[in-house]
A and B are shown apart, each in its own frame.
Chain A
């Protein structure tokens, strides 16, 4: 399962953090610091998978943002890598050519999208169309 999802920029600022396992605030800060250090120093030519404590981080960089998923050791790495890409595609579609600022100023919407995509640390829906449609429904209710 996915233990947490992090979106961090190159400087280490967290743009999105969702935890599916209970962690205290101080632990979260430590984790975010360590994950950032881990992924920001890796050469782009290296694998997108790196061991982290007793789990694995699957990560990919999109422009100035690092998308990191912390998963179990036995999980399918490539499947989660493409899960990250699907999420990016959804964000790209929703925000029309998404950039970091979109995510900053609309972080509440990003959480809504994420909650349609992943639940309980597992993939909930893999149809971009279904998720965007749902977001449309929710906008009408605001």
Chain B
């Protein structure tokens, strides 16, 4: 491998590495040279260069008779190709021969490649053979753990390849496995199987609890599987994950044993100095929390969990804080702990302003989930405040969530209108049309709200630079209800018209129709008619009567014609009727 440097240099100076080793001579190379060529190809590929040669060579090495070449073939193929490459299928027969053959090393190579990149065709041809290896007592743990994960992949590609009848018992037997490598791999397989069909694998439930007990008591756990003093934290986590796919635990003894283990984990996980030990023990703790939530344990245990989470969201260590927020959000969905969680509201709001975006996202999700009528005002106001400084990645989500919360939990409708208008003001780009349509619907359906909304819209129009959506909303509202404000300063029809018209140059063509409708409505509501205003607006209608945009042209011409009719206009442009209530 010492001439890797020369490969790089060679690549920079020649247009393609193909010139380094001619393809047509590949079969004439010695095995060692073939190996070198293919490894170098992988190196170039890894650096990010396009490698459109050499795939066939790599695949052909899979059929090599000797281990060194075969190894390269298998490994490079799994890096360069994937299940969507057609000619990977060419290798299926060779791969199958390696799997069912006597050579253990070849078996491992084959199982590994299939486990990493095998697709549906591999699943159908190979699953039975792989299953045999997994349960074969003559195979070393080395082979069996690869068989377990290879089978997992095949199952994910085609669930039908694992015939449940009979296999459930085998899985239960596998749970008694002593070798922890095999057990770890088999547990991943079990998680996938149970997640699709927990009834078939119910016999594995008590076994899983036994595994957990074995680990928790550090029974029969070789030193090599202990990580900073913790018996295989990964296996503990996987086992608890498997248990979360069983809806209930019927047997009282099993249930009791499990709760004992969980209780010990909840109460016995201390914060230690060693970062890795701390992370590992807390990985187990958080999974235990998830399992407890799933089992919907007694109230006491649940409150222990919430208390723990309350502690976590305030610690300095960011990872734990993140996980505290995330798990608290999950907790909202499973059980009735809203009140307890609300006690931590101020801490959560502080997290909304954390410098780390990952934490801010968790805090937002949690606030959204814990919002109800009692705290909606506070929470939505915090969200709006945050919106002013939030980066673009978060604004759309923030706006949508704020709008939904405002609608669901508004203490009164005028507050809701305020919130939406503020949203449009601060993050207009991210406020979809649906949101401002909703506001208009509400205002239309609630007479008391109309003057308030109109006044607010008028206020916003005074701002020097406003978002196009704000122009649309304000124009619509003032068109419909502006006349209710006629007596107020700055709200005469003429003043309303001129301040709206000021914004016309700044908006896009698609919004102009709305403004034209507004002008027509203002004109209609101006009784007695104001000739000067009439002339101004008619001039605009005339101007747009020859606009190239069909919608604009049509409206301009028709409004002009209608408004010349005088009193009859009142009926045609009467106030919009109430919108039908949305079916829930």
- Pairwise interchain contact B286-A124, C-beta atoms closer than 8 A: no
- Pairwise interchain contact A82-B283, C-beta atoms closer than 8 A: yes
- Pairwise interchain contact A47-B224, C-beta atoms closer than 8 A: no
Residues of B within 8 A of A108 (CB): 1, 39, 42, 72, 75
Q: Does A95 contact B (CB under 8 A)?
A: no
- Pairwise interchain contact A82-B276, C-beta atoms closer than 8 A: yes
Q: A29-B48, A76-B286, A76-B287 are in contact. Are A141 and B67 (CB under 8 A)?
A: yes
Residues of B within 8 A of A125 (CB): 145, 181, 184-185
- Pairwise interchain contact A43-B355, C-beta atoms closer than 8 A: yes
- Complex CA gap A82/B227 in Å reads 10
Chain A proximity of B31: nearest CB distance (Å) = 12
- Pairwise interchain contact B47-A47, C-beta atoms closer than 8 A: no
- Complex CA gap A41/B161 in Å reads 44
Number of contacting residues on A, CB 8 A? 56
Binary interface profile of B, 4-22, with partner A (CB < 8 Å = 1, else 0)?
A: 1000000000000000000
- Pairwise interchain contact B149-A124, C-beta atoms closer than 8 A: yes
- Complex CA gap A136/B366 in Å reads 49
- Pairwise interchain contact A107-B46, C-beta atoms closer than 8 A: yes
Q: A124-B181, A125-B145, A141-B105 are in contact. Are A119 and B283 (CB under 8 A)?
A: no
Q: Does A135 contact B (CB under 8 A)?
A: no
- Complex CA gap A104/B224 in Å reads 28
Residues of A within 8 A of B180 (CB): 126-127
Q: A122 contacts which of B51, B152, B357 (Cβ < 8 Å)?
A: B152
Q: Does B391 contact A (CB under 8 A)?
A: no
Residues of A within 8 A of B71 (CB): 112, 138
Q: What DSSP secondary structure best describes chain A's contact surface? A: mixed
Q: A79-B234, A82-B283, A141-B67 are in contact. Are A123 and B184 (CB under 8 A)?
A: yes
Q: Does B225 contact A (CB under 8 A)?
A: yes
**Which chain A residues in 1-39 approach chain B with CB under 8 Å?**
13-20, 22-25, 29, 32
| Nearest-neighbor residue (CB-CB) of B319 within chain A | A47
- Complex CA gap A124/B116 in Å reads 12
- Pairwise interchain contact B319-A49, C-beta atoms closer than 8 A: yes
Task: Report, as a range, how many residues of chain B touch the other chain.
Answer: 35 or more
Q: B68 contacts which of A42, A47, A142 (Cβ < 8 Å)?
A: A142
Q: A81-B319, A119-B150, A141-B67 are in contact. Are A25 and B227 (CB under 8 A)?
A: no
- Complex CA gap A112/B156 in Å reads 24
Q: A32-B48, A47-B318, A51-B358 are in contact. Are A107 and B149 (CB under 8 A)?
A: no
Q: A22-B83, A120-B153, A126-B225 are in contact. Are A82 and B319 (CB under 8 A)?
A: no
Q: Does B323 contact A (CB under 8 A)?
A: yes
- Complex CA gap A47/B323 in Å reads 10
| Nearest-neighbor residue (CB-CB) of B223 within chain A | A129
Residues of B within 8 A of A127 (CB): 180-181, 222, 224-225
Q: Does A50 contact B (CB under 8 A)?
A: yes
Residues of B within 8 A of A115 (CB): 75, 112, 116
Residues of A within 8 A of B233 (CB): 79, 82
Some 8 contacts from A to B, beta carbons below 8 A apart, are: A13-B48, A14-B46, A43-B356, A82-B233, A115-B75, A120-B116, A123-B238, A130-B224
Q: Which residues of B line the A interface, CB within 8 A?
A: 1-2, 4, 39, 42-43, 46-48, 50-51, 67-68, 71-72, 75, 79, 82-84, 105, 111-112, 115-117, 119, 142, 145-146, 149-150, 152-153, 156, 180-181, 184-185, 188, 222, 224-225, 227, 232-235, 237-238, 241, 276, 279-280, 282-283, 286-287, 318-319, 321-323, 355-359, 361
7 extra A-B contacts, CB within 8 A, seeds A78-B286, A120-B116, A127-B222: A46-B358, A77-B323, A78-B279, A81-B283, A119-B185, A123-B185, A126-B235
